[in-house]
Amino acid sequence: MIIDPAAAGSGTGESMFDALLMHFAGNQNSDDLDPRVVKALRAEFERSEFFGEDMRRLWAMCEKVVVQSGRIPGGKGKSINLLNLACGYCEEGAVLSAFWGRGGRRVRQFAMDLRHAEIDKARRRYAATERMFAAAGLRKIRRRDEGIDVEFIADDATHLVGYGEIPEYYDVVFIRHQNLWHDRAVWQRIYEFALARIADDGILLITSYFDREHLLALELIKSLGGKVLVTERNPSSRELSYPGKSIDRHVAVIARNEVT
């Protein structure tokens, strides 16, 4: 099922469940899927700890800001390269692949974090998600030339070299909950790297936990040559126990400033 990815990128309203279903079914035509399997999966999905409210809200925010940005990362191409930097245990790995894969696009996601333990957890989490879909009877059909969905890499975010066939540029660079306050120099280096890796028409999508940290991140990114296309406060962001901190509190889309 290949539909116009440009249309998919500009918000077809396809639900997170449908997109995940297609992703884990290897984009088989949904009419070919056994309705009992789909029903069982939907029930599983509703219960799943992996796709709780935070993921649904992140999905909705991504949809909103990407549409507002007017950008169509990857254009009408059949595949898209996605770089997820400082991904931690990568709660959003499957969700991002499903989001950017709408319309039947192949998503090549590379997810990096400095901490090996987090990357191990991320790998196990993604594998468990795949098993959830497989257990319900959904077998991903992969073309022979397709590699794994997400390449998890334990390394410094700016050391993206020497890992086989890694693209140089990415249609989407994603950084969730940066930690600018913790070490500004490190995050400056990560933002510089992220901006340098954005493909033509690509975007950097960031989220932040705090109001002030988000503003500082945007100021820093602008000073490094980024152009803020959209920034939105997430109205249904889940509050955490630390005052003023909440999940994906702000989400922004950034492009590279064109050098004239």
Ligand X SMILES: C[S@@+](CC[C@H](N)C(=O)[O-])C[C@H]1O[C@@H](n2cnc3c(N)ncnc32)[C@H](O)[C@@H]1O
Enumerate binding residues for ligand X (CB under 6 A).
86-88, 112-115, 118, 156-157, 176-177, 179, 186
Q: Minimum distance between the CB of residue 88 and ligand X, rounded to whole angstroms?
A: 3
C-alpha 4, offset from chain centre: 20
Please give the Cα distance from 129 to 139 (Å, whole number).
Answer: 12
Q: Minimum distance between the CB of residue 121 and ligand X, rounded to whole angstroms?
A: 10
Which of 44/156 has CB closer to ligand X?
Answer: 156
Nearest Cα to Cα of residue 104 among 31, 11, 22: 22
Please give the Cα distance from 62 to 157 (Å, whole number).
Answer: 22
Q: Minimum distance between the CB of residue 39 and ligand X, rounded to whole angstroms?
A: 32
Which of 140/177 has CB closer to ligand X?
Answer: 177
Which of 88/103 has CB closer to ligand X?
Answer: 88
Q: Minimum distance between the CB of residue 174 and ligand X, rounded to whole angstroms?
A: 9
Measured from each CB, the residue nearest to ligand X is 88
Q: Minimum distance between the CB of residue 159 and ligand X, rounded to whole angstroms?
A: 8
State the amino acid at position 207 in one-letter form: T
Up-side HSE of residue 131: CA atoms within 13 Å toward CB? 7
Please give the Cα distance from 254 to 82 (Å, whole number).
Answer: 15
Which of 117/141 has CB closer to ligand X?
Answer: 117
Which of 161/259 has CB closer to ligand X?
Answer: 161
Contact between 250 and 214 (Cβ < 8 Å): yes
Please give the Cα distance from 20 to 18 (Å, whole number).
Answer: 5
